Amino acid sequence: MATADVLPEDMPGLRAAALALLAERDELLRRVERTYHIIRQFQRAQFGRHSEKLDPDQLQFALEEDEIAAAAATSDAQKKRPHPPRAEPGKRKSLPAHLPRVEVVIEPETTSCPCCGGAMHVIGEEKSERLDVIPAQHRILVTRRPKYGCRACAGAVVQAPAPERLIRAGLPTEALVAHVLVSKYAWHLPLYRQAQILLAQGIEIDRSVLAFWVGYAATELMPVWQRMREMLLGSPRLFVDETRAPVLDPGRGRTKSGYFWSIARDDSAWHGGTSPPAVAYTYAPGRGAEHAMTLLAGYRGILQCDGYAAYKQVARRGRCRTG
C-alpha cells in the first residue's frame, strides 16, 4: 500500500500508483468473495440436508484454490514493487535428518582483497536448506549370468542360478510392483492413470497388465494379511467398523454398494499395551450380521463399535462383549 511520503509527484507516476491500488482493491474483493463462498460451503456441509452435504475433500480443494490465488497475487505484487522475500505461511519445520544432504558451495568470483589484492581467508558463512526432489525415474535392470567352462573338461559348466521373481519371466521388478500397489491403494492413483504416466516416459504398458501385477502381489501378500488378522483376533480389545465402497457392477453400467470391514487395535496410549497398532481390512458384498459373524469368528474379547445392530447380534451369541 502506497503512503503519502512515498507517492510520486509526477502525474504518470501518480496514475501508475492509483492503478496499482485499484488492482489491489479488486484482488482483496475477490479474496473476500472466495472466503464467503468457503464459509457458505462449510455451513452447508455442517447444517445442510444429507443430500446437500459435500465431501470434505471438496472443501479442502476450495481452500487450496484460495491459498493459491493469494500466493499468486502476492508474487505478482512483489515483482512489481520489490519487497523482502515472503516466507511460506506457517512456522517452518526442520527438515528430516534422514534425508541426504547435497551441499552446493557458491564461491565469490575472486577471493583477492579489493583493497590490497592479497589472498583472503574464510571468516564465516551463511547456510540455508531447501527441499529438493529427484523425479521418479524408471530404469532397466539388466541381469547377466556368465557361464564358466573348463578347458580340460568339456562337460563342466558352472553358472549361478537365476534369482526368483515375483512374476516368473515377468517384466517388473518387485520394487516396481510395490510402487504400483502404493500408488493405487495409498495415493488413490488408478491403474489407467499410472499407465498414462508410464506412456509419457515412452513406456507402453497396458492397464490390464498392471492389474495382472497387482493380482500377483495380492496373492503374495495374503499370508501377511492372514497373520495380521490372526494376531488381531487374539487381542483383548478390538475396534470394528464398516465403510461403504462403490464397486463396479459389470453389465449394468453403474456401481453397487460393497463394504470394507475393518478390525483394529491400538492400546498403547490408553491401556499401556505393548502390542503394536494394527488394522486389517476385509471386503464383503454387504453389511449384514452374517458378515460380522464371519469377520469376528472365534473372537472372545471386548469389541469397541457403534450401535449397529449387527454387532449387538454378535455379542448376543456370546462371542464377545461390545463397548
pTM: 0.69
- Residues 257, 205: one domain? no
Q: Residue 84: is its pLDDT beyond 70? A: no
pLDDT at position 61, please?
60
Give domain status of residue 302, yes or no: yes
301 found inside a domain: yes
Instruction: Determine the Cα–Cα distance for residues 280 and 261; give it in Å rounded to an integer.
Output: 8
Contact by Cβ (8 Å): 271, 241: no
CA distance 70 to 293: 53
Decide if 121 is inside a domain: no
Q: What is the pLDDT of residue 81?
A: 63
Q: Identify whether residues 197 and 242 lie together within a single domain.
A: no
The amino acid at 1: M
Query: Other CB atoms closer than 10 Å to residue 121's CB: what's the count?
Result: 6
Statement: residue 106 has pLDDT above 90: yes
Whether residue 277 lies inside any domain: the answer is yes
So what's the pLDDT on residue 227?
Answer: 95
> Looking at residue 220, what is its pLDDT?
93
Determine the pLDDT at residue 82: 54
Q: 58 falls in which pLDDT band (50, 70, 90)? A: low
By the 8 A CB rule, do 14 and 8 touch?
yes
Question: How much is the pLDDT for 319?
Answer: 56
Cell of 22: 485499484
Do 244 and 217 lie in one domain? The reply is no
188 and 262 part of one domain: no
Do 268 and 277 meet the contact criterion of CB atoms below 8 Å apart? Answer: yes
| Assigned domain for 71 exists | yes
CA–chain centroid gap for 81, Å, is 37
The torsion angles phi and psi of 270, rounded to 5 degrees, stand at: -110, -35
Predicted local distance difference test score (pLDDT) of residue 180: 95
More confident residue, 47 or 254: 254
Asked if the structure places residue 253 within a domain, the reply is yes
pLDDT at 284: 93
- 318 and 239 fall within a common domain: yes
C-alpha cell at position 103? 551441499
**199 and 253: one domain?**
no
Q: Is the pLDDT of residue 78 over 70?
A: no
The secondary structure element, H or E, covering residue 178 is helix 174-185
HSE-CB of 244 using CA atoms within 13 angstroms: 4
* Residue 214 maps to a domain: yes
Residue 253 structural domain: 234-322
Q: What is the DSSP string of 69-82?
A: HHHHHHHHHHHHS-
Q: How confident is the model at residue 50 (pLDDT cuts 50, 70, 90)?
A: low
3-state helix, strand, coil in the chain (%, to 5): 40, 15, 45
Of 202, 222, 242, the domain-final residue = 222
pLDDT digits (tens, 9 = 90+) for 181-234: 999 999 989 999 999 999 999 999 999 999 999 999 999 999 999 999 999 999
Q: With cut-offs at 50, 70 and 90, classify the pLDDT of residue 40.
A: confident
Domain termination site, one of 33, 55, 75: 75
Does residue 33 form part of some domain?
yes
pLDDT greater at residue 52 or residue 289? 289
312 and 251 belong to one structural domain: yes
Tell me what the pLDDT averaged over the chain comes to. Answer: 83
- Judge whether residue 314 has pLDDT over 70: yes
- 240, burial (CB in 10 Å: exposed 0-12, middle 13-18, buried 19+): buried
Q: Compute, in degrees rounded to 10, the torsion defined by CA atoms 41, 46, 50, 56.
A: 60
pLDDT tens-place string over residues 235-275: 988 999 999 988 877 777 788 889 999 999 987 766 667 78
Cβ neighbours around 236 below 10 Å, total: 12
pLDDT at 155: 87
Residues 317 and 238 in one domain: yes
Q: Does residue 261 share a domain with residue 202?
A: no
Mean pLDDT of 114-124: 93
The reply to whether 286 and 247 lie within a common domain is yes
pLDDT of residue 36: 73
Q: Shortest CA distance to 35 belongs to which of 52, 55, 53, 59?
A: 59
Q: Do residues 278 and 302 both lie within one domain? A: yes
If one counts the domains in the chain, the total is 3
- Three cell numbers at 105? 558451495
Residue 228 is predicted with a pLDDT of: 95
Exposure on the CB side of residue 33, measured as CA atoms within 13 A: 7
SS3 322: strand
Lowest mean pLDDT segment, chosen from 21-30, 175-184, 233-242, 294-303: 21-30
Mean pLDDT of 67-96: 67
